[in-house]
Amino acid sequence: MMLYHQTLDKLRTLRLEGMAQALEEQRQQKDITDLDFEARFALLVERQWIWKENRGLATRLKYAQLKIPNATLEDIDYRLPRGLKRAHIDQLRASGWVKQARNCLITGATGTGKTYLGCAFGHQACRDGYRTIYFYAPKFFRALQLAQADGSQLALLKKLARAALLIIDDLGITSTSPKQYRDLLEVLDDRHGQGATLITSQFPTEEWHGIIGDATVADAIMDRLIHNAYRIKLEGESIRKLRQQTPSDK
């Protein structure tokens, strides 16, 4: 018994919590002795692997701060009349586009599920091991502004540059100054070819030039976003108006 407790203590000291939990469970299983040593050890290793993966996912999701943290691609409702095809999602499901530092632009009217879809892609990226950061667009620009004011701009820019996936939700929803769009350009320039960026907006991409205002800055931003981007255009009216017909809002 003393040796058993010493083993548990050492496993936890080594931060092998999954293996320690599995060892405790094995002691409660009467038929576990029917398995040979290698089979029992494989079960311990498998539990440690799962524990580490789950812990890593929880850490990445906490870091990402997704607006809808439980949004998943599996729960998307394709029955809603918004022009979303399963093939569009399957093309991006494996997060290969994140690994390749490609972009994804999701547009559509208010209430068509842009935020849910963006968060679902963010959740999938976290599951696939990629560091992800989510920002509601107005808060994104405020964060950049505050960072400039308190001297933490360099640290924030480094944080944004290190993220494998940056999500900016609802671009153009509020009035934004030319200076703030120049800041966005700097962020995109740091990430160009290094990280993937997902942007949602209720405005079609053809109108982004007008929203940005400064033609030179708009050209530069669009060049960095559009060149290698996947585009998803959601159609139809607000899902909230369809709730009486279909209860899902995903």
- Name the residue type at position 181: Y
pLDDT band with cut points at 50, 70 and 90 for residue 27: confident
Pair (146, 109) in one structural domain: yes
A 10 A CB-CB count for 114 gives 21
- pLDDT, tens digit, 9 for 90 and up, residues 148-184: 999 999 999 999 999 999 999 999 988 888 889 999 9
Pair (72, 160) in one structural domain: yes
What CATH number did the domain enclosing 89 receive? 3.40.50.300
Pair (69, 33) in one structural domain: no
- Between 135 and 214, the more confident residue is 135
Output the pLDDT for position 43.
82
Residue 30 DSSP one-character state: G
Pair (21, 137) in one structural domain: no
45 found inside a domain: yes
Q: Please give the residue range of the domain that contains residue 153.
A: 65-242
Q: How many domains does one find in the chain? A: 2
Average pLDDT of the residues in 137-154: 93
248 found inside a domain: no
Q: Which residue has the tokens 């009349």?
A: 81
User: Using CA atoms, how far apart are residues 241 and 113, in angstroms rounded to an integer?
Assistant: 12
User: Using CA atoms, how far apart are residues 138 and 85, in angstroms rounded to an integer?
Assistant: 29
Q: Is the pLDDT of residue 249 over 50?
A: no
Provide the mean pLDDT of the chain. Answer: 87
Taking the model in full, what pTM does it have?
Answer: 0.79
- Between 36 and 53, the more confident residue is 36
DSSP 76-136: --TTSSS---HHHHHHHTT-HHHHTT-EEEEE-STTSSHHHHHHHHHHHHHHTT--EEEEE
250 found inside a domain: no
User: Using CA atoms, how far apart are residues 174 and 171, in angstroms rounded to an integer?
Assistant: 8
247 found inside a domain: no
Output the pLDDT for position 112.
87
136 found inside a domain: yes
Structure tokens at 46: 């498998």
User: Using CA atoms, how far apart are residues 218 and 221, in angstroms rounded to an integer?
Assistant: 5
CA dihedral of residues 49, 53, 55, 60 (deg, nearest 10):
160
- pLDDT, tens digit, 9 for 90 and up, residues 47-72: 877 777 778 889 999 999 999 999 99
User: Cα–Cα distances in Å, from 85 out to 57, 81, 91, 106, 241?
Assistant: 27, 10, 10, 13, 21
- Between 12 and 113, the more confident residue is 113
pLDDT band with cut points at 50, 70 and 90 for residue 250: low
- Name the residue type at position 228: N
Pair (231, 127) in one structural domain: yes
Pair (72, 57) in one structural domain: no
pLDDT band with cut points at 50, 70 and 90 for residue 245: low
Total residue length of the chain: 250
- pLDDT, tens digit, 9 for 90 and up, residues 103-116: 999 999 888 899 99
pLDDT band with cut points at 50, 70 and 90 for residue 3: confident
Do 117 and 80 contact (CB within 8 A), yes or no?
Answer: no
CA angle 246, 92, 219 (to 5 degrees): 105
| Domain boundary, last residue among 41, 63, 85 | 63
Beta bridge partners of 165: 132, 196
Q: Is the pLDDT of residue 237 over 80?
A: no
